Amino acid sequence: MYLLTGENFGNFPYANSLVIEGSKRAVVDAGAGVGRLKPLVERGIDVLIFTHFHPDHGREAYLFQDAQWWAHEADAPAISNVDGYKRFRHYHKPGKEYLLHLEQSRLGVYPYGPVAVQFRDGDWLDFGSIRLQVIHTPGHTPGHCCLYEPETEILFSADIDASSFGPWYGDPVGDIDDFIASIQRVIDLNPKMLVPSHGLPITEGIRQKLEDYCSIIFQREEKILQFLRKKPGSLETLVGSGLIYRKIPEPEDLFRHFEATILEKHLRRLQSRGKVTVANGIYAAC
Ligand SMILES: [Zn+2]
Protein backbone atom coordinates (compact mmCIF):
# COMPACT_ATOMS: atom_id res chain seq x y z
CA MET A 1 0.00 0.00 0.00
CA TYR A 2 1.36 3.43 -0.84
CA LEU A 3 0.34 7.06 -1.16
CA LEU A 4 0.05 8.54 -4.62
CA THR A 5 0.36 12.28 -4.05
CA GLY A 6 -1.99 14.36 -6.17
CA GLU A 7 -0.72 17.17 -8.37
CA ASN A 8 0.19 20.32 -6.43
CA PHE A 9 0.61 18.20 -3.23
CA GLY A 10 -3.00 17.13 -3.57
CA ASN A 11 -4.23 20.65 -2.92
CA PHE A 12 -7.72 21.41 -4.22
CA PRO A 13 -8.87 20.76 -6.92
CA TYR A 14 -6.50 17.75 -6.78
CA ALA A 15 -6.61 15.00 -4.17
CA ASN A 16 -4.17 12.32 -3.00
CA SER A 17 -4.85 8.66 -3.76
CA LEU A 18 -4.00 5.52 -1.86
CA VAL A 19 -2.86 2.56 -3.94
CA ILE A 20 -3.36 -0.98 -2.61
CA GLU A 21 -1.50 -3.84 -4.21
CA GLY A 22 -2.86 -7.03 -2.70
CA SER A 23 -4.34 -10.02 -4.46
CA LYS A 24 -6.79 -7.38 -5.66
CA ARG A 25 -5.47 -4.02 -6.83
CA ALA A 26 -7.35 -0.97 -5.63
CA VAL A 27 -7.15 2.81 -5.73
CA VAL A 28 -8.75 5.13 -3.22
CA ASP A 29 -10.14 8.26 -4.93
CA ALA A 30 -9.52 9.46 -8.47
CA GLY A 31 -8.59 13.14 -8.37
CA ALA A 32 -4.79 13.05 -8.33
CA GLY A 33 -4.49 14.22 -11.95
CA VAL A 34 -4.69 12.25 -15.21
CA GLY A 35 -0.91 12.03 -15.60
CA ARG A 36 -0.54 10.38 -12.18
CA LEU A 37 -3.45 7.97 -12.45
CA LYS A 38 -3.10 6.79 -16.04
CA PRO A 39 -0.02 4.58 -15.39
CA LEU A 40 -2.01 2.77 -12.67
CA VAL A 41 -4.90 2.12 -15.04
CA GLU A 42 -2.47 0.67 -17.56
CA ARG A 43 -1.13 -1.76 -14.92
CA GLY A 44 -4.70 -2.85 -14.12
CA ILE A 45 -6.95 -1.80 -11.23
CA ASP A 46 -9.76 -4.01 -9.92
CA VAL A 47 -11.45 -1.62 -7.52
CA LEU A 48 -11.93 2.14 -7.27
CA ILE A 49 -12.97 3.24 -3.78
CA PHE A 50 -14.62 6.65 -3.27
CA THR A 51 -14.09 8.23 0.17
CA HIS A 52 -17.08 10.44 -0.74
CA PHE A 53 -18.88 11.88 -3.75
CA HIS A 54 -16.99 15.17 -4.28
CA PRO A 55 -15.64 15.92 -7.78
CA ASP A 56 -12.08 16.66 -6.64
CA HIS A 57 -11.99 13.00 -5.47
CA GLY A 58 -13.75 11.44 -8.45
CA ARG A 59 -13.03 13.65 -11.45
CA GLU A 60 -10.75 11.05 -13.07
CA ALA A 61 -12.96 8.05 -12.24
CA TYR A 62 -13.71 7.80 -15.99
CA LEU A 63 -10.23 6.31 -16.34
CA PHE A 64 -11.35 3.36 -14.19
CA GLN A 65 -14.30 2.15 -16.27
CA ASP A 66 -13.04 -1.45 -16.07
CA ALA A 67 -12.80 -1.41 -12.26
CA GLN A 68 -15.62 -2.00 -9.77
CA TRP A 69 -16.64 1.19 -8.00
CA TRP A 70 -17.12 1.02 -4.23
CA ALA A 71 -18.54 3.75 -1.97
CA HIS A 72 -20.49 4.25 1.24
CA GLU A 73 -24.20 3.68 0.75
CA ALA A 74 -25.09 7.24 1.82
CA ASP A 75 -23.02 8.87 -0.96
CA ALA A 76 -23.69 6.27 -3.67
CA PRO A 77 -26.73 8.12 -5.12
CA ALA A 78 -24.56 11.18 -5.89
CA ILE A 79 -21.88 9.03 -7.58
CA SER A 80 -24.27 6.93 -9.65
CA ASN A 81 -26.10 9.61 -11.62
CA VAL A 82 -26.38 13.32 -12.29
CA ASP A 83 -29.82 13.67 -10.69
CA GLY A 84 -28.55 12.32 -7.39
CA TYR A 85 -25.54 14.59 -7.62
CA LYS A 86 -27.71 17.65 -8.25
CA ARG A 87 -29.96 16.79 -5.31
CA PHE A 88 -26.96 16.51 -2.95
CA ARG A 89 -25.74 19.99 -3.99
CA HIS A 90 -29.18 21.60 -4.50
CA TYR A 91 -28.33 22.32 -8.13
CA HIS A 92 -31.80 21.00 -9.00
CA LYS A 93 -33.43 24.02 -7.30
CA PRO A 94 -34.88 26.77 -9.49
CA GLY A 95 -32.24 29.35 -10.35
CA LYS A 96 -29.39 27.06 -9.23
CA GLU A 97 -29.10 24.79 -12.28
CA TYR A 98 -26.36 26.93 -13.84
CA LEU A 99 -24.09 26.22 -10.86
CA LEU A 100 -23.54 22.67 -12.15
CA HIS A 101 -22.10 24.10 -15.37
CA LEU A 102 -19.98 26.59 -13.46
CA GLU A 103 -18.61 23.75 -11.35
CA GLN A 104 -17.88 21.65 -14.42
CA SER A 105 -15.91 24.54 -15.91
CA ARG A 106 -13.65 24.48 -12.83
CA LEU A 107 -13.60 20.79 -11.90
CA GLY A 108 -14.48 18.93 -15.09
CA VAL A 109 -17.53 16.79 -15.77
CA TYR A 110 -18.19 14.30 -13.01
CA PRO A 111 -18.05 10.78 -14.52
CA TYR A 112 -21.17 9.25 -12.96
CA GLY A 113 -21.31 5.47 -12.92
CA PRO A 114 -22.79 2.51 -11.05
CA VAL A 115 -21.55 1.79 -7.54
CA ALA A 116 -21.13 -2.00 -7.51
CA VAL A 117 -20.42 -2.34 -3.79
CA GLN A 118 -21.93 -0.10 -1.12
CA PHE A 119 -20.11 -0.32 2.21
CA ARG A 120 -20.98 0.73 5.76
CA ASP A 121 -19.25 1.68 8.98
CA GLY A 122 -17.07 -1.11 10.33
CA ASP A 123 -16.95 -3.09 7.08
CA TRP A 124 -13.62 -4.68 6.17
CA LEU A 125 -12.40 -4.08 2.64
CA ASP A 126 -10.32 -7.16 1.89
CA PHE A 127 -7.51 -7.05 -0.68
CA GLY A 128 -5.73 -10.27 0.33
CA SER A 129 -2.58 -9.23 2.18
CA ILE A 130 -4.11 -5.86 3.11
CA ARG A 131 -7.41 -5.21 4.84
CA LEU A 132 -8.83 -1.75 5.47
CA GLN A 133 -11.63 -0.92 7.87
CA VAL A 134 -14.32 1.58 6.92
CA ILE A 135 -14.64 4.37 9.47
CA HIS A 136 -17.84 6.22 8.57
CA THR A 137 -17.21 9.90 9.35
CA PRO A 138 -20.23 11.91 8.13
CA GLY A 139 -20.47 15.70 8.23
CA HIS A 140 -18.42 16.71 5.22
CA THR A 141 -20.87 14.57 3.22
CA PRO A 142 -23.37 11.99 4.55
CA GLY A 143 -21.27 9.06 3.31
CA HIS A 144 -17.77 10.43 3.94
CA CYS A 145 -15.45 7.65 5.12
CA CYS A 146 -11.92 7.30 6.41
CA LEU A 147 -10.01 4.04 5.86
CA TYR A 148 -7.98 2.47 8.65
CA GLU A 149 -5.12 0.01 8.42
CA PRO A 150 -4.81 -1.45 11.94
CA GLU A 151 -1.38 -3.17 11.55
CA THR A 152 0.41 0.13 10.85
CA GLU A 153 -2.27 2.33 12.51
CA ILE A 154 -2.40 4.51 9.41
CA LEU A 155 -5.63 6.35 8.75
CA PHE A 156 -6.48 7.68 5.30
CA SER A 157 -8.62 10.53 6.60
CA ALA A 158 -9.90 11.96 3.26
CA ASP A 159 -11.35 15.44 3.85
CA ILE A 160 -10.86 15.43 7.60
CA ASP A 161 -7.63 17.03 6.50
CA ALA A 162 -6.54 19.16 9.50
CA SER A 163 -6.13 22.08 7.07
CA SER A 164 -5.75 25.70 8.16
CA PHE A 165 -9.00 26.52 6.30
CA GLY A 166 -10.94 24.23 8.63
CA PRO A 167 -13.80 21.79 8.14
CA TRP A 168 -15.91 22.27 4.98
CA TYR A 169 -19.65 21.63 5.07
CA GLY A 170 -20.80 23.67 2.09
CA ASP A 171 -23.25 21.09 0.75
CA PRO A 172 -26.86 21.14 1.94
CA VAL A 173 -26.32 17.48 2.94
CA GLY A 174 -23.31 18.38 5.10
CA ASP A 175 -23.76 18.65 8.88
CA ILE A 176 -21.75 20.59 11.46
CA ASP A 177 -22.54 18.42 14.49
CA ASP A 178 -21.85 15.23 12.57
CA PHE A 179 -18.53 16.74 11.46
CA ILE A 180 -17.56 17.58 15.06
CA ALA A 181 -18.42 14.01 16.15
CA SER A 182 -16.42 12.58 13.24
CA ILE A 183 -13.30 14.62 14.10
CA GLN A 184 -13.64 13.39 17.69
CA ARG A 185 -13.91 9.82 16.42
CA VAL A 186 -10.64 10.24 14.50
CA ILE A 187 -8.97 11.75 17.59
CA ASP A 188 -10.18 8.78 19.69
CA LEU A 189 -8.89 6.31 17.11
CA ASN A 190 -5.47 7.81 17.83
CA PRO A 191 -3.76 6.86 14.52
CA LYS A 192 0.04 6.89 14.26
CA MET A 193 -0.16 8.53 10.85
CA LEU A 194 -2.92 10.67 9.40
CA VAL A 195 -2.98 10.71 5.60
CA PRO A 196 -5.38 13.40 4.39
CA SER A 197 -6.63 13.76 0.83
CA HIS A 198 -5.14 17.23 0.57
CA GLY A 199 -1.59 18.07 1.70
CA LEU A 200 1.06 15.90 3.29
CA PRO A 201 0.78 13.01 5.77
CA ILE A 202 0.91 14.00 9.44
CA THR A 203 2.87 11.97 12.00
CA GLU A 204 3.35 14.43 14.86
CA GLY A 205 0.88 16.31 17.02
CA ILE A 206 -2.08 14.66 15.28
CA ARG A 207 -4.45 15.15 18.22
CA GLN A 208 -3.55 18.84 18.60
CA LYS A 209 -3.83 19.48 14.88
CA LEU A 210 -7.27 17.88 14.77
CA GLU A 211 -8.41 19.83 17.85
CA ASP A 212 -7.20 23.08 16.25
CA TYR A 213 -8.99 22.12 13.04
CA CYS A 214 -12.24 21.44 14.91
CA SER A 215 -11.97 24.72 16.87
CA ILE A 216 -12.23 26.66 13.59
CA ILE A 217 -15.93 25.72 13.58
CA PHE A 218 -16.44 27.58 16.88
CA GLN A 219 -14.27 30.51 15.76
CA ARG A 220 -16.54 30.90 12.73
CA GLU A 221 -19.56 30.93 14.99
CA GLU A 222 -17.99 33.60 17.21
CA LYS A 223 -17.18 35.74 14.14
CA ILE A 224 -20.79 35.48 12.95
CA LEU A 225 -22.03 36.58 16.38
CA GLN A 226 -19.60 39.52 16.48
CA PHE A 227 -20.77 40.58 13.01
CA LEU A 228 -24.44 40.44 14.02
CA ARG A 229 -23.81 42.23 17.32
CA LYS A 230 -22.59 45.24 15.34
CA LYS A 231 -25.52 45.17 12.95
CA PRO A 232 -28.34 42.70 12.31
CA GLY A 233 -28.42 41.52 8.71
CA SER A 234 -29.72 39.10 6.11
CA LEU A 235 -27.88 36.00 4.90
CA GLU A 236 -26.94 38.02 1.79
CA THR A 237 -25.11 40.63 3.89
CA LEU A 238 -23.14 37.88 5.65
CA VAL A 239 -22.02 36.19 2.41
CA GLY A 240 -18.78 37.69 1.10
CA SER A 241 -17.99 39.43 4.41
CA GLY A 242 -14.93 37.26 5.06
CA LEU A 243 -16.61 35.14 7.73
CA ILE A 244 -15.83 31.78 6.05
CA TYR A 245 -13.76 32.49 2.92
CA ARG A 246 -11.39 35.40 3.44
CA LYS A 247 -11.88 36.11 -0.24
CA ILE A 248 -14.50 34.26 -2.29
CA PRO A 249 -12.64 32.03 -4.81
CA GLU A 250 -13.52 31.80 -8.50
CA PRO A 251 -15.99 30.96 -9.92
CA GLU A 252 -17.55 33.42 -7.50
CA ASP A 253 -21.23 32.43 -7.82
CA LEU A 254 -20.37 28.82 -7.01
CA PHE A 255 -18.36 29.67 -3.92
CA ARG A 256 -20.98 32.21 -2.77
CA HIS A 257 -23.46 29.30 -2.92
CA PHE A 258 -21.13 27.18 -0.77
CA GLU A 259 -20.50 30.02 1.68
CA ALA A 260 -24.23 30.76 2.01
CA THR A 261 -24.83 27.07 2.73
CA ILE A 262 -22.14 27.04 5.44
CA LEU A 263 -23.47 30.26 7.01
CA GLU A 264 -27.06 28.99 6.97
CA LYS A 265 -25.97 25.91 8.92
CA HIS A 266 -24.24 28.08 11.53
CA LEU A 267 -27.22 30.44 11.79
CA ARG A 268 -29.57 27.48 12.36
CA ARG A 269 -27.20 26.07 14.96
CA LEU A 270 -26.95 29.45 16.74
CA GLN A 271 -30.74 29.85 16.65
CA SER A 272 -31.23 26.43 18.21
CA ARG A 273 -28.90 27.49 21.03
CA GLY A 274 -30.76 30.76 21.59
CA LYS A 275 -27.84 32.92 20.45
CA VAL A 276 -29.42 34.32 17.29
CA THR A 277 -32.97 35.33 16.36
CA VAL A 278 -34.43 35.85 12.91
CA ALA A 279 -37.36 38.02 11.81
CA ASN A 280 -38.30 38.67 8.16
CA GLY A 281 -34.97 37.23 7.03
CA ILE A 282 -32.94 39.57 9.26
CA TYR A 283 -30.66 37.82 11.77
CA ALA A 284 -29.71 39.43 15.09
CA ALA A 285 -27.48 38.34 17.95
CA CYS A 286 -29.23 37.87 21.31
ZN1 LIG B 1 -14.71 16.64 -0.19
**Amino acid at residue number 92:** H
Mean pLDDT taken over the chain:
97
pLDDT at 128: 94
pLDDT at 109: 81
CA of 182 to the centre of ligand 1 (A): 14
Asked whether the predicted pLDDT for residue 268 surpasses 90, the reply is yes
pLDDT at 90: 96
CA of 57 to the centre of ligand 1 (A): 7
CATH code that applies to domain 2-203: 3.60.15.10
CA of 284 to the centre of ligand 1 (A): 31
Please report, for residues 17, 25, 35, the alpha-carbon distance to residue 43 in angstroms, rounded to integers and kept in the order given: 16, 9, 14
The mean pLDDT of 219-224, rounded to a whole number, is: 98
The mean pLDDT of 189-204, rounded to a whole number, is: 98
CA of 197 to the centre of ligand 1 (A): 9
pLDDT at 238: 98
- CA distance linking residue 212 with residue 196, whole number of Å: 15
273: pLDDT confidence band, cut at 50, 70 and 90?
very high
pLDDT at 163: 96
Stated pTM of the model = 0.97
266: pLDDT confidence band, cut at 50, 70 and 90?
very high
CA of 271 to the centre of ligand 1 (A): 27
CA of 67 to the centre of ligand 1 (A): 22
Question: What's the pLDDT tens digit per position in 86-144?
Answer: 999 999 999 999 999 999 988 888 889 999 999 999 999 999 999 999 999 999 999 99
The mean pLDDT of 218-246, rounded to a whole number, is: 97
Question: What's the pLDDT tens digit per position in 157-166?
Answer: 999 999 999 9
pLDDT at 108: 82
CA of 88 to the centre of ligand 1 (A): 13
CA of 158 to the centre of ligand 1 (A): 8
CA of 12 to the centre of ligand 1 (A): 9
Per domain, the residue ranges of the chain are 2-203, 223-285
For the chain, give the number of residues: 286
pLDDT at 82: 94
pLDDT at 146: 98
CA of 199 to the centre of ligand 1 (A): 13
CA of 24 to the centre of ligand 1 (A): 26
272: pLDDT confidence band, cut at 50, 70 and 90?
very high
CA of 285 to the centre of ligand 1 (A): 31
pLDDT at 107: 82
With b meaning 16 or more CB within 10 Å and e meaning fewer, what string describes 78-97?
bbbeeebbbbbbebeeeeee
CA of 198 to the centre of ligand 1 (A): 10
- CA distance linking residue 99 with residue 8, whole number of Å: 25
32 neighbors 2 (Cβ within 8 angstroms): no
CA of 56 to the centre of ligand 1 (A): 7
The mean pLDDT of 54-58, rounded to a whole number, is: 96
CA of 159 to the centre of ligand 1 (A): 5
- Measuring CA to CA, which residue among 230, 212, 205 is closest to residue 283? 230
